[in-house]
Structure formats: structure tokens, C-alpha cells
């Protein structure tokens, strides 16, 4: 349990910085091209790590490639949609929506296992949705007679991401019994990378995306490497390790802390949160937290 909790704590720090850092990188990169570059670096490092840690390669033993490709497709879709969502939204709002992960994890668990979501989760759902709406509200615009809803289109994509990630996490644990978490993660990234590179190549070929106009400076490289090494490699690996030990529903409880980290990192990068975003964040976190506390005491009582 200690290893799982420590891993999730580090994951929250890595993932909490994702939206603000990617938002900053998107000033120089197009979305899909950025995802492709990050995944190329990430996959190479995972393959080297796997070779050193387990003295083997991806294909050692019987690999269920059909399932690997499905997982890779889910991971590719999640990464592309999230990056596009960040491009067309405020990174703090994106983090607030992501905090509803425990609710979507329970719904995904219902689809995969047939278990009905606990009543506490069902009660938290409308409050979490309301919090997300508040986070997109601009009271200053409302008082000045302008459109009060501060939505840019990326928010609906992030809702899809909140469903895709627990699906990826749950299938990762259900499908690969006896395989190390490192190998599972490396396989999923290896399957996802050519898919993302293919999409990026098509978009560049038709002129919808381009490579960065200039070589990134030291700050740009630092941010790029952080999103590749910390968020993609360290965060995803530690997440899968923790989910393997305590389950996806409990693990997603830690995602409640991501908005707080995102707000701090966004402020460090010069993005000031609006009061409505802070209020929406508080509502989402409280809705999910109360559900988790009720679930904990309910299980303890049984």
C-alpha cells in the first residue's frame, strides 16, 4: 500500500503539471505533432528501460497483440484528444474536468464488470458536472453583458478523455496477468506511437499541421522533456503500478489533487486562475471526495 500511495503522489505531481506545460508548448507546436514527438521519445526510453530492467525485448514470450493494439488505440486517442482539448481550452478548466475521474472510473467499471455504481458516486455526478460548468463561467463577462460561458470547445474533448483513461487503466490490468507493469506500459506506448505518427504525418502532408518553425530554446526543451519523461514515462508507469496494487477506482481518488497542482503550475507559467475556476474546482473535488469517504466507511462497515 505504501508503494502504491507514494507512486500515486508522484503521479499527481507529474500529471498536475501536464495541462499548463502542454499549453505553453502549444505556443510553438501544433497539437498532434507535439504528441507524436513526445511519444517517440517516450517509447524509445521505455524500450531501453525494459531491455535493461528485464533483459528482454517487447516480443519476449506470447504477446496478445490484438489486445495490445486495442490498448494502444485507446492511449493514442486519449493523448491526441487531451492535447487538442488543452489547445482549445484553459488548462485549469481542463484539470478541473479531469478531477471527475473517480466518477467516470466507476461508470467504466460498471460497463466492464456489470457492477452498479455505488449510490455515493451517482450523487456525486451532478455536483461534479455543475462544478465543471461553474469553472467555465465568466462572471465579469456576464456583468458586462457579454457571453458568460468561457468555453472554447476543448472541454467536451476532455470529457471523452476522462472516460478513455480509466478504460485504458482497467483493461491494462484485466488483460495482462503475469506481465510486469513496465512491459504492459511499454507495449501500449509502442502500439500507440505509430498510430499517432501516422495521424501527424497525414496532417503535415495536407498542410493542417507543421513542424516547429525554429529549434526550441533551453526553456522549450526543458518543458518538452518534462512532459515526456515525467508525465508520460514516470507518471504513467507509476500509475499502472499503483492501479495493479489497489485497483483503478481507489487509485483515481488521488486524481482529486491534480487541479491544485495544475493551478500552482499555471500560476508559475503566468496563467492566473479566475475565481469561478477555483470555485468549480472546489465543487468537483468536494463532490468526488465525499463520495470516496462514504464508500470507504461503507466498505469498512461491511
3 state DSSP class of 149: strand
Give the pLDDT confidence score for residue 112 in this predicted structure. Answer: 78
Give the pLDDT confidence score for residue 206 in this predicted structure. Answer: 96
Cell 485497483 found at: 247
- Higher pLDDT, residue 12 or 41: 41
- CA 219 to mean position of chain CA atoms: 23
* Helix orientation angle between 18-25 and 2-16, rounded to the nearest 10 degrees: 30
- Higher pLDDT, residue 6 or 19: 19
Mean confidence (pLDDT) of the chain: 81
pLDDT over 60 (residue 171): yes
pLDDT over 90 (residue 201): yes
- Higher pLDDT, residue 266 or 69: 69
DSSP element (H, E) containing 53 = helix 31-54
Q: List pLDDT tens digits, range 17-38.
A: 888 899 999 999 999 999 999 9
pLDDT band at 246 (very low <50, low <70, confident <90, very high): low
Whether the model clears a pTM of 0.85, i.e. scores above it, the answer is no
Contacts of residue 247, defined as CB under 8 A and 6 or more positions apart, other chains included, come to: 173
- Higher pLDDT, residue 172 or 289: 172
Q: List pLDDT tens digits, range 46-85.
A: 888 888 887 666 555 577 888 999 999 999 999 999 999 9
Per-residue pLDDT, averaged over 127-156, amounts to 70
Neighbours of 59 (CB within 10 A): 10
Kindly report which listed range (84-88, 145-149, 241-245) carries the lowest average pLDDT score.
145-149
Give the pLDDT confidence score for residue 81 in this predicted structure. Answer: 95
pLDDT over 80 (residue 43): yes
CA-closest candidate to residue 40, choices 195, 264, 271: 195
Amino acid at each position: 500500500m505504501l508503494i502504491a500511495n507514494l507512486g500515486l503522489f508522484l503521479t499527481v505531481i507529474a500529471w498536475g503539471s501536464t495541462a499548463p506545460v502542454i499549453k505553453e508548448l502549444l505556443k510553438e507546436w501544433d497539437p498532434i505533432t507535439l504528441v507524436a514527438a513526445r511519444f517517440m521519445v517516450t517509447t524509445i526510453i521505455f524500450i531501453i528501460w525494459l531491455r535493461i530492467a528485464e533483459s528482454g525485448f517487447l516480443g519476449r514470450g506470447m504477446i496478445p497483440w490484438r489486445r495490445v493494439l486495442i490498448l494502444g488505440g485507446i492511449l493514442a486517442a486519449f493523448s491526441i484528444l487531451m492535447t487538442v482539448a488543452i489547445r482549445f481550452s484553459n488548462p485549469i478548466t481542463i484539470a478541473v474536468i479531469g478531477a471527475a475521474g473517480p466518477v467516470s472510473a466507476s461508470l467504466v467499471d460498471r460497463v466492464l464488470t456489470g457492477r452498479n455504481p455505488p449510490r455515493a458516486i451517482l450523487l456525486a455526478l451532478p455536483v461534479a458536472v455543475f462544478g465543471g460548468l461553474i469553472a467555465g463561467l465568466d462572471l465579469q463577462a456576464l456583468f458586462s453583458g457579454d457571453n458568460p460561458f468561457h468555453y472554447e470547445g476543448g472541454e467536451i474533448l476532455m470529457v471523452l478523455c476522462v472516460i478513455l483513461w480509466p478504460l485504458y487503466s482497467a483493461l491494462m490490468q484485466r488483460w495482462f496477468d503475469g506481465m510486469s507493469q513496465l512491459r504492459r506500459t511499454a507495449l501500449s506506448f509502442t502500439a500507440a506511437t505509430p498510430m499517432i505518427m501516422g495521424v501527424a504525418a497525414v496532417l503535415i502532408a495536407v498542410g493542417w499541421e507543421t513542424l516547429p518553425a525554429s529549434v526550441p530554446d533551453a526553456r522549450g526543451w526543458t518543458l518538452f522533456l518534462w512532459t515526456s519523461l515525467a508525465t508520460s514515462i514516470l507518471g504513467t508507469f507509476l500509475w499502472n503500478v499503483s492501479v495493479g496494487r489497489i485497483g483503478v477506482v481507489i487509485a483515481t481518488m488521488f486524481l482529486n489533487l491534480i487541479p491544485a497542482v495544475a493551478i500552482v503550475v499555471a500560476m508559475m507559467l503566468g496563467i492566473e486562475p479566475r475565481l469561478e475556476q477555483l470555485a468549480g474546482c472546489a465543487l468537483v473535488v468536494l463532490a468526488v471526495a465525499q463520495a470516496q469517504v462514504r464508500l470507504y466507511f461503507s466498505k469498512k462497515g461491511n
